[in-house]
Amino acid sequence: MNIENNIAIKLKLTEENEKNSMCNTKKYIMIILIVTAIIVGAGIACAISIPLVKKKYDKDENEYKFTPEIIPYGSNLKTTYIFGHKNPDTDTISSSIVIADLEKKLGNQNQLIPCRLGELNKESKLVLETFNVETPKLISSVSGADSVILTDHNGYEQSISDLESSQITIDKVYDHHAISGFKYPSPVNVNIKPYGSTCSVLYEIYKIYNLEIPKHIAGLIASAIISDTILLHSSITTELDKKFLKEASEIAGIDYIKYGEKMLRAYSDVSDLSDSELLNYDSKEYTENDNCGNSIYYIISTASTYDVDEFLSERKNGLKTAIQSKGLKLFIFYILDIVNYNSYALIEGDLKELAKNALKTYECTEYNNQNDVYFLKQVTSRKKDIAPKIKEAINTNCVIS
């Protein structure tokens, strides 16, 4: 009897073990099936998505591989002024107009108003007339705006007078200069790149977002690149500037060589300007601290010509008098020779010797035995060639004892 009971018990245990084993096997099979389904599903998803992504990334010969999402923002009840630096040049004028178009396409719903902080030079007038574009609004204050977008500058000394005191919201900054002296009260969207023109920075954004560029906008972009890079001869010119100028010119339908030469001739025509007006024609103000903590305010101004000797013969004495009347520690006025791409500088003020030594990199020798005009070999850019040298010289010396 005991033997039979033991056999029955063993049989029962064996059956239960088999049932448990079958259950475990089913569980394992289910797990394997689920995992397999996930892997297969992921594989199908990858198979579907990879070609689509690759197609998107391969667009435009792998140049601009990703198009960010555009999310609308702002309100048509708010007004945004868009403006560049004082004594506006073609890049400043053109970029203010281009930004209004670009920002709208990027989802900015504010009322975007291109503005300027001074009168147009002849070159800028030619550009606006060529592409039948309205002149930006002349302003002397940010009052009337809810916010601003700055272009082609980022320092208070080169901006509108009440920008800092008004504490107005700065929505964005588009520029191609070194960062100088802004203390933003809150985070700001800043797009600064070391290109030859602010409009080169803007053109690249159009391409990144795959945005349509109207013919007149392309014309303004091409004009700004021509102006700031001196038809691609300036030391600030990059390979992208060359590429962007060619592409923008094709969209605008212009021969940028012939058109560019016409622009440069318009810019160099300063015959109707007084000496004081000429000093402000293309002028930028700077403030730097010397090695002893003294604040030094100075100006670097420029003009261009096709005949240096004629220009100096007609204008040098009057310009010297006008410069000296300003009584600054340093004033540099340089004339760019558009034919040979060298410059010739009038340097005045207590820091004259400091500036001459700083510019020795470019020879800075007396021109034709004139002890008040200095030859600067292959100097074509205030931003890249002159301003950094002067800044370094002031920062590293105690110029006022």
pLDDT tens-digit map of 117-148: 999 999 999 999 999 999 999 999 999 999 99
| CB distance 111 to 43 below 8 Å | no
Residue 31 confidence (pLDDT): 55
Q: Residue 33 is inside which H or E element, if any?
A: helix 2-57
Residue 28 confidence (pLDDT): 53
Domains and CATH numbers, the chain: 79-268 (3.90.1640.10), 275-395 (3.10.310.20)
3-state DSSP helix/strand/coil percent for the chain, to nearest 5? 45, 20, 35
* Angle, helices 122-130/256-268, rounded to nearest 10 degrees: 140
Residue 30 confidence (pLDDT): 59
Please report, as a single letter, which amino acid is at residue 280: N
Asked which of 65-69, 145-149, 298-302 is least confident by mean pLDDT, the reply is 65-69
Taking the C-alpha atoms of residue 284 and residue 127, their distance in angstroms, rounded to an integer, is 22
Does residue 320 register a pLDDT over 70? yes
Across 59-73, average pLDDT? 66
| CB distance 318 to 354 below 8 Å | no
Taking the C-alpha atoms of residue 241 and residue 197, their distance in angstroms, rounded to an integer, is 8
Query: Can you tell me whether residue 95 is helix, strand or coil?
Result: helix
pLDDT tens-digit map of 196-227: 999 999 999 999 999 999 999 999 999 999 99
Residue with tokens 């203390």: 183
pLDDT tens-digit map of 266-284: 999 999 999 999 999 999 9
Q: Tell me the backbone φ, ψ of residue 172, rounded to 5 degrees.
A: -150, 160
The CA distances from residue 41 to 37, 44, 46, 54, 373, in Å, are: 6, 5, 9, 20, 77
Residue 87 confidence (pLDDT): 95
Side-chain-side CA neighbours of 1 within 13 Å: the count stands at 0
Q: Tell me the backbone φ, ψ of residue 148, rounded to 5 degrees.
A: -135, 155
Side-chain-side CA neighbours of 265 within 13 Å: the count stands at 6
Q: How many CB atoms lie within 10 A of CB 42?
A: 10
Does residue 52 register a pLDDT over 50? no
| Confidence (pTM) | 0.82
Taking the C-alpha atoms of residue 244 and residue 143, their distance in angstroms, rounded to an integer, is 36
Q: Tell me the backbone φ, ψ of residue 339, rounded to 5 degrees.
A: -80, -50
Taking the C-alpha atoms of residue 148 and residue 50, their distance in angstroms, rounded to an integer, is 42
Residue with tokens 């667009």: 59
Nearest to 391 by CA among 400, 379, 382: 382
Nearest to 161 by CA among 218, 96, 117, 197: 117
Q: How many CB atoms lie within 10 A of CB 267?
A: 24
Taking the C-alpha atoms of residue 272 and residue 120, their distance in angstroms, rounded to an integer, is 14
| CB distance 220 to 253 below 8 Å | no
Q: At 49, is the pLDDT very low, low, confident or very high (cuts 50, 70, 90)? A: very low
Residue 384 confidence (pLDDT): 95
Tokens of 360: 């020795």
Across 156-160, average pLDDT? 92
Residue 33 confidence (pLDDT): 53
Residue 36 confidence (pLDDT): 52
Mean pLDDT taken over the chain? 87
Residue 303 confidence (pLDDT): 97
Q: Is the model more confident about 266 or about 182?
A: 266
Number of helices (H), then strands (E), in the chain: 12, 12
Residue 111 confidence (pLDDT): 97
Q: Which alpha helices (DSSP H) does 153-254 contain, by range? A: 163-166, 198-208, 215-228, 239-252
Does residue 357 register a pLDDT over 90? yes
| CB distance 150 to 176 below 8 Å | no
Does residue 195 register a pLDDT over 70? yes
Across 26-36, average pLDDT? 53
Please report, as a single letter, which amino acid is at residue 172: K
| CB distance 295 to 287 below 8 Å | yes
Burial of 269 (0-12, 13-18, 19+ CB in 10 A): middle
Residue 186 confidence (pLDDT): 81
Q: Is the model more confident about 373 or about 69?
A: 373
Across 382-399, average pLDDT? 96
Taking the C-alpha atoms of residue 130 and residue 386, their distance in angstroms, rounded to an integer, is 32
| CB distance 122 to 87 below 8 Å | no
Backbone Cα Rg of the chain: 32
